[in-house]
Amino acid sequence: MNEEEIRSFLSSFPDGWDELLKDEKNKTYYQNLLLSVSKKYLTEKVYPPYEKVFSAFSYTSVDDIKCVIIGQDPYFNEGQANGLAFSVNKGVRLPPSLLNIYKELFNEYSYPIPKNGSLESWARQGVLLLNSSLTVKEGEPNSHSKLGWETFTDDVIKIIDSLDRPIVYLLWGNYAFKKSSLIKSRKAFIIHTAHPSPLSASRGFFDSNCFKRCNEYLIKNDIEPIDFQIKD
């Protein structure tokens, strides 16, 4: 792994997204971001692995987007972050927020709470699991939030909004809800709840019916609902 290799990888977005974001990569802020992030990977422990930074875009194509879930930044402990917001790889212990997400799914659908923390099946059905910052230093939450990632992901949200088609935005917590100011389309359906973290889940995430409300909106617009059940 070297700086040029990392910069080259982060200069190309997955199929479909590359065309949509072609102007983004040429902006000054993104060129500076590339420089900063590639150096970080060489000088500190950074998550997720650089090959996983764009996993959210790899698993969810532009044409398939039905729902956008916005997280803050990747998990900052070893072996957790996989490039999908709130998700961990199968076999990794469930983080508390993800466990609470599963508890709410049990409340709504009576789905058994799985041990599998991978949300890849959601992503493949059109759920864009987008963190605002796409990288983080080990042990330091929000450590890369000032590098330019938020400018990039805010622009991604604006571009998705410009598609002007029915899309659900699950905004969990006040941080995610701030992103609602970027969403202008009348076809967007914003669902704002408390964050699923143990500190706030009981204050408006549990019993919010956010997943059922998401699917009700999709069905209303003749879009196939999302199967939110995760199997072990």
Catalytically annotated residues:
73
Q: Contact at 8 Å (CB) between 67 and 128?
A: yes
Q: Contact at 8 Å (CB) between 113 and 106?
A: yes
How far apart are the C-alpha atoms of 18 and 25, rounded to whole Å? 9
CA distances from 227 to 111, 124, 134, 223 (A): 11, 11, 26, 12
Q: Contact at 8 Å (CB) between 153 and 132?
A: yes
Nearest-CA neighbor of 183 among 212, 154, 210, 208?
Answer: 154
Q: Contact at 8 Å (CB) between 129 and 86?
A: yes
